[in-house]
Structure 1
């Protein structure tokens, strides 16, 4: 963990932006956050690894000053209460399909301050990319540089996202989509950290640890940006 983490009890006084972020986190601790899972159409197993988010929420509460409830919320894009959840998570092995209304709703949600984290569990890459291209036709998913704050905000990842499970040739990659200069979507490919949040895969302790660290970084970044 970074010694100058924004969650330190005594943030450096020489950085006004850090003080603002610190105050934002203090406000976030006044009530617990709840992580939300996206239920989508197309046949993909959106429900995969149901204990992943509850386990991540527990780690967030234990390691940071933010309290996260261990009960996940399942939402569709058309649920009106989606705007009450700042972080939306989706995963799966199969096809992702959004209706026209769902695409519009996702665009509205993200432009209103929401954040989507998508983790390919092998099999959703092509359809997910196609749907996101419909949601933001004038933007594209780009690989994030290793010095992006999402890899530094609490734990340091010098080489990008960890490779919890290898599903394809090549290194793990983290992609982002920016809208009006703001990162609104983070997408991990050939990385699959959410598989490390669940106990079902019996990952080695060090693999699970890196997966949880990446998850904590993602949530904290989403809450602060």
Structure 2
């Protein structure tokens, strides 16, 4: 009887897991930067998307290294942090292949990563540059409307929030959100004590990004 119960529990576990059609991941990179920042952010965004957009994303995001072949399992990868970033030539090539093959990378500057990021992106796409997205880009009008573009979640240096992209044949393959800090807005309320309306804007913009990627 005990063995039957164990078998049923295992079966129910795999049945529950199979209900999720997609998995997304956090990018683990070298250089000493805190790639693991905002630990509650992505799970909260997933929960919001599954509730509001009826997506079927597994509730626990995975972690994938830049140079791993596992990167190709995920249609959407999130990257964040405050400090230094470093890609080896092999890692840069792997990330480039992933993005050109249909993958998507969202990089959210948690504050201070921008100068390091630009240097490493030059290894991934030496022939491309980050281009600022206009407010008419469809990523701002998927499920939720942001007619003024990227919302401001945290002050940082007090600059206006900007969304930059890298494109391949008119397809947005990489999004860099700067001076906004969406990931902080996704975190549990007690982490940063952001007002509910600010957190909602961050989650809605995150949901727009997810929606855009899954529709592309």
In the aligned structure 2, how far is the partner of 1:135 from the partner of 1:180? 17
In the alignment, what sits opposite 1:202? 193
**Which whole-Å deviations, capped at 9, do the CAs of 1:170-224 have from their partners, x for residues lacking one?**
2111101112221110011000111011011121000000000010001111112
CA separation in 2, counterparts of 1:31 and 1:61? 10
TM-score by length of 1: 0.85
TM-score using structure 2 length = 0.88
Contact 2:20–2:58 (Cα < 8 Å) also in 1: no
Aligned to 2:23: 34
- Is the 2:133–2:165 contact (alpha carbons within 8 Å) kept by the matching residues of 1? yes
- Structure 2: how far apart are the matches of 1:140 and 1:179? 11
RMSD value over aligned CA atoms? 1.3
Any residues of structure 2 matched to 1:43-122 within 5 Å, and which?
Answer: 43-122=32-111
Report the counterpart of residue 13 of structure 1 in structure 2: none
Distance 1:124 1:170 in 2: 15
| Higher alpha-carbon deviation: 204-213 or 79-88 | 79-88
The Cα of 1:65 is off from its aligned counterpart by: 2.1
Equivalent position of 1:158 in the other structure: 147
The partner residue of 2:211 within 182, 204, 220 is: 220
CA contact (8 A) 1:173 1:190 kept: yes
Deviation at 1:77?
1.6
Give SS of 1:196's match.
Answer: helix
Unaligned 5+ residue runs, structure 1? Answer: 1-29
By how many angstroms is 1:31 displaced?
4.1
Larger-gyration structure (1/2): 2
Q: Determine the C-alpha separation between the residues in 1 that align with 2:93 and 2:133.
A: 25
Aligned residues of 1:197 and 1:211 also touching (Cα < 8 A): yes
Q: Distance in 2 between matches of 1:34 and 1:165?
A: 28
**Which 4+ stretches in 1 moved above 6 angstroms?**
none
3-state DSSP of counterpart to 1:46: coil
